[in-house]
Amino acid sequence: MASPSVALLKKRTTLTLPADSLNEAQKLADSRHVNLSTVIAEVVSVGLQVEAARHRGGQVLESYRKAFTGFTDDEIAILDGVMLEPIGPDGN
């Protein structure tokens, strides 16, 4: 029997899923010798992690966009470490 703390972490619900996705999940569950709810829980968990990472990535890009708005192309090149003047054969 599961401990009370484990039982509290689960919640029963009814979902409507595309038949082909459900069939693939059932095949995976059968091949791994686990129940369907285990596979669905893992897939949802991983999907949520991927979506959260994608959202954070979008926030980072938007922050950079805001931070560098207003800089000229030359200023951005300087920030990127690009040398704007030719360098002679002796490195100067």
Axis crossing angle, helix 36-68 with helix 19-32, rounded to the nearest 10 = 110
Total domain count, the chain: 1
Q: 71 is in which domain, residue-wise?
A: 59-83
* Comparison of pLDDT for 75 and 28, the residue scoring more: 28
Other CB atoms within 10 Å distance of the CB of residue 43: 14
- The answer to whether position 66 is within a domain reads yes
**Domain-located, residue 29:** no
Does residue 15 lie within any of the structural domains?
A: no
With respect to residue 50, please indicate whether it lies within any of the assigned structural domains: no
Domain contains 79: yes
**Is 44's pLDDT higher than 90?**
yes
Q: pTM score, two decimals?
A: 0.57
Q: What is the mean pLDDT of residues 66-74?
A: 85
